[in-house]
Amino acid sequence: MEIKGKVHEVSPTVQVTESLKKRELIVEYIENPQYPEYLKFEAIQDRCGLLDNIKVGSDVEVFFNLRGRPWTDKTGKKSYFNSLVLWKINVLTPAGASTTPEYAPPADISSTPDEDDLPF
């Protein structure tokens, strides 16, 4: 799966256990501009390095897998958790880059002489 959005936050790498490290990426996803969504992606193990050069404010395309698992607490109540596991990320527009094209300023035609040779 993939999604496009703007980087809202990049967390530092956390060593969860001796053999597991992870890093989180929060992306602002705007399907409806009135109600933006903030999606949390997890980068696990060697994928943590994919976020080293990602800056807040960058427009990105995130490729991820959707994972789900059950968990039963001490009282026997079962809950379910979902994870968005990042496996690739592309920067579409770097942070601070203008998203509008730069054009030459308009020419000032008021200062040019009227040299119209047409008879009408």
DSSP assigned state of 110: G
Tell me the domain boundaries of the chain: 2-96
User: Which class would CATH give 2-96?
Assistant: mainly beta
For residues 36-58, average pLDDT: 97
Parallel/antiparallel/unpaired status of strands 37-44 and 2-10: unpaired
pLDDT of res. 105? 60
CA 11 from chain centre, in angstroms, equals 14
pLDDT of res. 109? 59
Confidence category of residue 95, pLDDT binned at 50, 70, 90: confident
pLDDT in tens, 3-27: 999 999 999 999 999 999 999 999 9
Residue 7: which of 54, 52, 47 has the closest Cα?
54
Instruction: Provide the whole-model pTM.
Output: 0.76
Supply 29's token pair.
Answer: 């996803």
Angle of CA points 25, 84, 27, to nearest 5°:
35
